[in-house]
Structure 1
């Protein structure tokens, strides 16, 4: 593999001119900036109500975005092969972080969920970073084909999923399981393994879904939104009201009615419903097309990657982005039950945004090296 890309450039060069995939980078930046607008529009009411400052969530998201962009551009300048060497240490650190949420005084418990760590200036959600770390580890592991890895793969996946479900977090469980199976499949395993994995996954997710009353209620409300309209079906019905109110062209930017405490999680999991209400089918459709283009471009980079590790790494990050996007949008248009999964690049949240931008930094480096292979 050629190392010409490592030659020191003469003079100052802005990062976007140093061999990056410009179509991906420009659309990505556009989505991130629009995400700031969407977070502000969807959170202005609750921010003023809860904090007395309508810019509270916008300010936080701008900070998260700034940190994420610095990390993304910094990591994009680092040879992605370093992640092969760091795969095992990162996995152990992630497992420790997933366990740390259960330590009193360290983990933060909210409404029965134990998903966050208090690190002083920042609230960290380890499950978000576990997606990226699992992609890195599996990509490194699957770079070289070996026999007899089916059982170890199941044991590792079971360990990570078990720690995530103890928190509990079904949405992240589905994402992790799906992207792990995708990576296992593209690594060139026998088809019989996939035929075994799929029914196992369906049974496990099904059992987890009905094991808790609130998760079972989400399924029943998905199947029948008119059942218990002020209870289990309330969230779904408010989503449908937002989508219906938007029509073709929307009610106007900043003029959403559902954000006035009618729609739960308006600036996080349900932000797409607010976008559809304000910009209509046209605006929501353009957003979906932009997200689809990002996913397409990631998988394009995966095909162009210089080596097998780069291909698997890009494919894993692309699967993470695509699966999470599909799960969120599927729930917002009532094609899937609600799972509490944020919309990538758009929804409010630090851990989700920063971990994704770290992943995009790795992708940009793969793209740079692809042009010089």
Structure 2
């Protein structure tokens, strides 16, 4: 089959979202950077380094035949399990805000759960079309999701379940399998709430705010205040008041609120539309994929980005409880950005092998 050029629309959307994200972090992180590091550009400099690394990774992976990753799927599963166990070990895993999600390597640290999404998408996609049993999907899904819950990280656990559901869907809709995975999702969600006081408080805050937003937690109140201040057109770029240490995690979990405050409803809708277009483009590539592994992996990446965006933005508008999951391309976090750009690189390689 004669190869096509990479999907330029997906490439332009990816680069555009990444640059938009750097701009948002530059704006949203300044007060925190000055207070904690005496350098207003501390966070954005780190994000730019991650962006450069991520774009290099995107270019490299877009040139490597996607089929090779299927051969290493079991290796990826082993790497996933090792990383998720190591992060739970005191001394290796860094504990912050009641969760242990980072591995300390001395000079640098990284969040393994971000690469877990990528590696797990490869693994479950390798099972598609191989006539594997239901347990072949469920056992690794349960183990990986459970280890993520132990951190605890409910948002990522839900994304893992979404990725597994995508692979099962591509394999062929089977009601029993989908019901089984739904039960797994329910158990994972319940376990996350029960083992963590922090999660229970967030859930109760969400339930309270669903009746009266002003009775919610401090975080929820500041989120809603920021959204309200933005109005339709926003307060203007750089004019956010909430980012001045009123809004928790303004450069990470809550960066969408800063965007909505400064650029208003129009800016918020623009972010949602751009992310939606990216996911649509990925799904379109999946429809023309040359084989079922490629179709499954591409769909998994689309679900990963789409579901994660929904969980983040949904929590910002009090549709779902706060999960602490980052907004793809916009939240500060080098590991997340590099993993995303690497996965897009693989999708771009698949786009070069599309049929028809």
Using structure 2 for the length normalisation, give the TM-score. Answer: 0.95
Alpha carbons 2:146, 2:188 under 8 Å: kept: no
Query: Secondary structure at the residue paired with 2:295?
Result: helix
CA distances 1:306-343 after superposition (whole Å, capped 9, x unpaired): 11111111011111111101111111111111000100
- From 43, 46, 60, the equivalent of 2:46 is 60
Alpha carbons 2:149, 2:188 under 8 Å: kept: no
Mapped to 1, the partners of 2:246 and 2:155 lie a distance apart of 23
Query: Is 1:19 aligned to 2:5, yes or no?
Result: yes
- From 140, 144, 148, the equivalent of 2:126 is 140
1:174 CA drift (Å): 1.2
CA distances 1:148-170 after superposition (whole Å, capped 9, x unpaired): x1123222111111211221111
**Equivalent residue, structure 1, for 2:144:** 160
Query: Is 1:111 aligned to 2:105, yes or no?
Result: no
Alpha carbons 1:242, 1:276 under 8 Å: kept: yes
Alpha carbons 1:75, 1:362 under 8 Å: kept: yes
**Equivalent residue, structure 1, for 2:27:** 41
Mapped to 1, the partners of 2:197 and 2:150 lie a distance apart of 15
Query: Secondary structure at the residue paired with 1:175?
Result: helix
**Equivalent residue, structure 2, for 1:98:** 84
The gaps in structure 2 that reach 5 residues or longer are none
Mapped to 1, the partners of 2:335 and 2:282 lie a distance apart of 21
Query: Structure 1 residues 275, 197: closer, same or farther in 2, change over 3 A?
Result: same
Mapped to 2, the partners of 1:165 and 1:52 lie a distance apart of 35
Mapped to 2, the partners of 1:221 and 1:329 lie a distance apart of 17
Mapped to 1, the partners of 2:318 and 2:264 lie a distance apart of 17
Using structure 1 for the length normalisation, give the TM-score. Answer: 0.91
**Equivalent residue, structure 2, for 1:10:** none
- From 317, 326, 340, the equivalent of 1:356 is 340
Query: Number of paired residues?
Result: 355
The gaps in structure 1 that reach 5 residues or longer are 6-17
Alpha carbons 1:273, 1:332 under 8 Å: kept: yes
Mapped to 1, the partners of 2:244 and 2:221 lie a distance apart of 15
Alpha carbons 1:227, 1:233 under 8 Å: kept: no
Query: Structure 1 residues 212, 109: closer, same or farther in 2, change over 3 A?
Result: closer
- From 16, 27, 52, the equivalent of 1:30 is 16
CA distances 1:156-207 after superposition (whole Å, capped 9, x unpaired): 1111112112211111111111221222122114212212332442243134
| Superposition misfits of 4+ residues, deviation over 4 angstroms | 226-230
Alpha carbons 2:170, 2:292 under 8 Å: kept: no
Mapped to 2, the partners of 1:74 and 1:153 lie a distance apart of 30
Mapped to 2, the partners of 1:104 and 1:234 lie a distance apart of 30
**Equivalent residue, structure 2, for 1:192:** 176
Mapped to 1, the partners of 2:213 and 2:24 lie a distance apart of 30
Alpha carbons 1:72, 1:357 under 8 Å: kept: yes
**Equivalent residue, structure 2, for 1:171:** 155
- From 305, 318, 326, the equivalent of 2:289 is 305
Alpha carbons 2:62, 2:349 under 8 Å: kept: yes
